[in-house]
Structures are given as structure tokens and as C-alpha cells.
Amino acid sequence: MKDTLIEKAKEVRLKAYAPYSNFLVGAAVLTNSDKIYVGCNIENSSYSLTCCAERVAIFQAISAGETNIKAMAVVGDADEPISPCGACRQVMSEFINLDTPIYLANISGVINELTINDLLPLAFGAKQLNDK
């Protein structure tokens, strides 16, 4: 499944709207129902309104009623595998379990396999909101 997710992320990255950075990113998530949802980065001239591929893929899954992700891949054209931004890491932590594999890759085939705890240790989440 890892190879399929990475391939889907590579494919959708070519649909990215990135006229300002020209940095195309694709992401794919596999849900518990074995469906794959994809997303690409969508830039905006007001940079803070740009939406990253990771969040687009997760939001696609959520919009389809899927809230449990069992694997994720993120692909970009860089020397090393790319890594999600802080906002994406926070969103990922909402829907990805601590042991869920996250594949960070580049288009040359270099892959790092991590977990959300590797990317965002001590994440803020529902536990903190419910611990009153």
C-alpha cells in the first residue's frame, strides 16, 4: 500500500496550483475503509491563505465522512523528502493515530517513514481540552 499511496501523491502533485513558488506537492491518505483521498497544494497571492496538500487530502477524506486515516504519503520535488509544515502537523495529529505510518518522499524515490509523534511530539489535542 505504501507504493500506491506514494504514486497517488506523485500523480496529484502535478495538479497543484503553485504559480508563486512553483513548488508542487501531493499528498494521499488511506482511510480505514481502504479508500484513498488525494490533495495538492493550492497557493494564493495572499500567502497565508495557501492550503497545503496534506490538509487538502485530509479534508477530502473528512468531507467524504472518513475520520480515521491509517496511512499517509507526502511527495515533493526536492533533494530530500519534504516534511509537513506546522499547521499540517497539527491537523494530521487530529486524525492520525500515534502508530500510523506517514511516508515522506521525493520524486526520486527517497522515502522516510515516520509517525505523527515523530513529526509533532507533545501535540496539543482533545486530551488537553478534556483535562480540566
Q: Which of 49, 93, 61, 92 is nearest to 74 (CA)?
A: 92
Annotated catalytic residues are 54
Q: Which of 44, 2, 42, 50 is nearest to 25 (CA)?
A: 42
SS3 96: strand
Whole-number Å distance between alpha carbons of 77 and 13: 9
